[in-house]
Amino acid sequence: MEVNSVTKVFGDIKALDRVTLRVRRGEIYGLLGPNGSGKTTLIRAIVGLIAPKSGTVTVLGRKLPNLDVLREVGYMTQQAALYPGLSVEENLRFFAAINGVESGVKDALEFVDLYARRGSVVSTLSGGMRQRCSLACALVHRPQLLLLDEPTVGVDPQLRVQFWEQFRRMAAGGTTIIVSSHVMDEAERCRRLGLIQYGRLFAEGSPSEVRAQAGTQNLEEAFLKLAGEKVS
């Protein structure tokens, strides 16, 4: 997965400013930045939802926009985007079908521990269950690249640990995961990090490399220090 010098402008705000990054197969890449920094815009550019003003996005060796490559991409939006009138299983079947697969529903449901609730209508589920269902919908077609936009917002700590365990298992199985977050302790769990502020990717590296770059003890301080130095 490669993003090459992508710029996106909304009005006179530069949402993405010459962002370049490369993520390898099986890697968990964390996009770290405050609200409004450009994380969501970057993820939407990677799934082809927005066309960049300049620059290119290449996924699995193919340049976007390309509908076929989207078959290999799973996308979990920030809010749980589900059909509230359908049951958990019906939602999964739908997202499987539009990605051209039949099987995998049961596996995905077991993966997020919702198999027992598969018959429940989504509108009756709790927020955390919806979030899990949404994750299941993003990975039901076994994508090679999984994009997660703040998947753990509003998720209780216990569930967050479960989520990350699942992400690690998937990455071990060869799935590339790009996850955005503004929670620093989540960032520690990523193989590599991209720090983003005002649409600019100003630092990259593993959590320890980022700390070393800034010469600080924790990521939060590192972020603030590097952001202060490199983004004016």
Partner 1 sequence: MSGHRIAAITRRLLQGFRRDRRTLALLFVAPLIILGLLGYMLRNSSTPAVGVANEDGGPLGAVVASALDQSTKITTTTIAASDGDAKLKDGSIVAYIVFPSDFSQRAQSGVIAPQVHLEGSQPNAAAQALQALQAALATAASNRPGAVRVQPEVSYLYGGPNLDTLDYFGAAAIGLIVFFLVFVVTIVSFLNERSQGTLERLMASPLRRGEIVVGYMIGFTVLALIQSAEVLLFALYVLNVHNEGNVLLIFGIEALMAITAVNLGIFLSMFARTEFQAVQFIPLVIVPQFLLSGILFPVRSEPTWLQYLSDVLPLTYAVNALRDVMVKGADLTWSSLQLDVGVVAAFVVAFVVAGTATLRRRVA
Judge whether 192 and 29 are in contact, CB under 8 Å.
Answer: yes
Site size with partner 1, rule: CB under 8 A: 24
DSSP 198: T
Stretch that binds partner 1, among 16-24, 45-53, 152-160, 182-190 (CB under 8 A): 45-53
DSSP 38: S
- Give the other-Cβ count within 10 Å of 61's Cβ: 8
Q: How far is the CB of 10 from partner 1 (least distance, A)?
A: 10
Q: How far is the CB of 147 from partner 1 (least distance, A)?
A: 8
Q: Which is nearer to partner 1, 67 or 217 (CB)?
A: 67
Q: Among 28, 47, 125, 129, which residue interacts with partner 1 (rule: CB under 8 A)? A: 47
- Measuring CA to CA, which residue among 37, 147, 121 is closest to residue 19? 37
Which residues between 86 and 145 bind partner 1 (CB under 8 A)? Answer: 95, 98-100, 137
Q: Among 54, 84, 107, 116, which residue interacts with partner 1 (rule: CB under 8 A)? A: 84
Judge whether 219 and 211 are in contact, CB under 8 Å.
Answer: yes
Q: Which is nearer to partner 1, 141 or 192 (CB)?
A: 141
| Residue 8 Cα distances to 15, 178, 182, 198, angstroms | 6, 19, 21, 12
Q: Can you list the alpha helix ranges (DSSP code H) found in 47-126? A: 67-70, 88-98, 105-111
The answer to whether residue 75 forms part of the interface with partner 1 (CB under 8 A) is yes
Q: How far is the CB of 92 from partner 1 (least distance, A)?
A: 12
Chain residues in the site for partner 1 (CB under 8 A): 44, 47-51, 67-68, 70-71, 73, 75, 77, 79-84, 95, 98-100, 137
